[in-house]
Structure 1
Amino acid sequence: MGRSPCCSKEGLNRGAWTALEDKILMAYIKAHGESNWRNLPERAGLKRCGKSCRLRWLNYLRPDIRRGNISHDEEELIIRLHNLLGNRWSVIAGRLPGRTGNEIKNYWNTTLGKKAKGESSSQSKQSCQSKSRAIKPMTSTQPSKSTQTTQVIRTKATTCTKCAWKEMGRSPCCSKEGLNRGAWTALEDKTLMAYIKAHGEGNWRNLPERAGLKRCGKSCRLRWLNYLRPDIKRGNISHDEEELIIRLHNLLDGP
C-alpha cells in the first residue's frame, strides 16, 4: 500500500495497559486532542505503538463510551445492520451512540451471531410452512377498500389541527401570531447561537421569548439542528456517503 509502519515495535510494551499508562494517555488527549496517533506515544512519553494508543482510547477510555449490557433493541438493530453491511463494525457502531466497533464485534462473535443464525433458520421454516397453507378468502363482513378510503378522508376533513393537538394531549408551542415566518436573518442567527452557547439546548418552547426572538420554538430548533450547529459537516456528499445512505434507507425505511 506504500505506507510504512507507524513504529519499529522494538522496546515497546505489548501486554495489558496499566492504570498509569491510561492516565498518561487520557491526560495527553485532554490537553492536545485526538490527532497524529503516529507521533503521540513519543510526545506523551508512552512506550506503546500509535495504533495501540488509538485503539485503547477509542474502545476503552473515551468519556462517551456507553457501559453496561447491550439492550434488546440494540441487538435487533445490530442484526439488521449486519445483514446489510456485513462485518463493518465501525460503521455499525456509528448507528449505536456510545458503543464501540470492538465491543459490537466481540458481542457478535460470542453471543449475537449464534442467535441471529437461529432466528434466520426458524424464520425460513415458518415461511415454508406458510407457503404450504391455503389462503383464506376475505369474508363479506370486512369493509371494501373504497369504503375504508372514504372513512379516512372524512376523518381527515372533519378533524382540525387544534382538535388533533387536544386528542394527542399537547398544545401548540405558540400562538403563531406576530411571529416572523420568512427567511432567518443574520442577526436572528447570531442571537440564537449566542443564547444556546450561554444556556445550552433545551426547552425550545420557551426559548424564543427568553432569547428575544419573534420565532416559533419549532423554527428555532430546526434552524439550530439543520444549519447552525458547529458540528455540521459542510460540503458535497461523497460517493461513499451516498451508497451508505441508500443502503441504510433500504434497511430502515424499506418495505
Structure 2
Amino acid sequence: MQAKMFYYNSSALLEPTTRTSLLKAIEVSKKFGGITFFDLNLPMPLWSSSKETKSLIKEAWEAADIIEVMKQELEFLCGIKPSANSDTKDEKSEFAHYSPEVVMKIWHDNLKVLFVTNGTSKIHYYTEKHNGSVRGTEDAPITPFTSEMSQSGDTIAAALMNMLSINPHLVTDKVYLHKTAKHAIKCGVIDQWLAARERGFLPRGIAEPSSEHDEARFITEREYRTIPDAMQPANPSDRELTHVE
C-alpha cells in the first residue's frame, strides 16, 4: 500500500546521518507522488539563533508541500518580538492573525499551505491566494492542577494530515481548509480530555508530585468530584485514598 503523505519534523535534522536519510526519504516520497508534511516542532537546540535554524532546516522546509508551525515558531523565524502579554489571557496577543505579508517572509515557491497553530485555541491557515483562521477553545489540562498540553498538539497535526490526505486536491481550497482546521481543533480537545480520563486526577492537595510524593496515587474523575470534603484526608500526603471504578 502506497503512503499518500510523508510526515517529518526538525528533530531528524540535528544529526548529519539522520538529516541525509530524511532528505533522501523526502526525495523518494515525492518521486512516487507523495505529499510532504513538515511539522516544524523545533527542539530546544534550534531556538538559539533564527538565522542558523533557517539555514539548517532550509532543504527540508523547501521540500514541504504543507508546513505546520506553532505561533511562537512563526514569530521566531520571522523575527517578531513576542508581546509582553503573550503568556497571559491578553486576547489581542494570543489570537493575533498575522498578515500574509508577514508569512511571505518564510514562504517558498512549492508550498501549498502553511498552518500556524496555537494549541486548540486557534488555527491559522495561509495559501498563496487565501488566508484565514478558526477560533477554538482553550486546551484542556491533563488534570485540574497541571498545564500539560502535549496531547492536543500531536492530535492536531494528525487530524490535519488525515483531512488533507483524504482530499489532496482540496489542499488549497479555503472552505475545505476552514473545515480541516475545525476538525483538528475538535480532535485536539477530545484527545486531551481522553488522556485526562485515562491518567486520572491527582489527589487534592498534591498538585505536582515531588520526590517525597512520588508514590502519590491518582484517582478517577468520579472519585475526585464525588468524595465529600469531610472524607478527604487531613494530611495532603496521606495516600489512603482508594481507587473507585
Structure ranking higher in strand proportion? 2
Determine if the TM-score, normalized by the shorter chain, exceeds 0.5.
no
Superposition TM-score tier, normalisation by shorter sequence:
under 0.3
User: Larger Cα Rg: Structure 1 or Structure 2?
Assistant: 1
